[in-house]
Amino acid sequence: MTFTVTYVDRDGGGTCLRLSGELDMSSAPTLNAAIDGLIAAGERRLLADLTELTFCDSTGMAAFVRGDNRAAADGGWLRVTGASGRVERVLRLTGLADVLRYDPDPVDPASRAVP
């Protein structure tokens, strides 16, 4: 399945990246480039909506951590929401659910996140 990233502006509350497909070694550079581009454009609060992400390997998880570290270096953050199945299980097993302040409710978890 093809990996895609689409952007949704959250009315001054940062940018939501909607991920779909499979995030793995071959597609993680696409996510890294998207995050780098947003940070270069001044975005510091990023929300990754994983509702349509069907698979994520360790390289994909590393991309989330990298994105959070990049945003944090400039006073921001990257949060994740909406994961299910294996993707949610890996987030929880690795401890990244806590690190990235995972919220299963994709409505607007960033509004509840502490920067």
Q: What is the pLDDT of residues 43-99, one digit of tens each?
A: 999 999 999 999 999 999 999 999 999 999 999 999 999 999 999 999 999 999 999
Q: Where are the alpha helices (DSSP H) in 3-95?
A: 28-40, 58-73, 85-94
pLDDT band at 10 (very low <50, low <70, confident <90, very high): low
- Using a pLDDT cut of 70, give the percent of the chain over it: 89
pLDDT band at 11 (very low <50, low <70, confident <90, very high): low
pLDDT score, position 104: 83
pLDDT top residue among 32 and 110 = 32
* Range 27-52 burial, b when 16+ CB lie within 10 A, else e: bbebbbebbeebbeeebbbbbbbbee
pLDDT score, position 107: 58
Alpha-carbon distance of 13 to 43, in angstroms, equals 10
Q: Is the pLDDT assigned to residue 115 strictly greater than 60?
A: no
The answer regarding whether domain 44-97 maps to CATH 3.40.50.720 reads no
Alpha-carbon distance of 54 to 35, in angstroms, equals 20
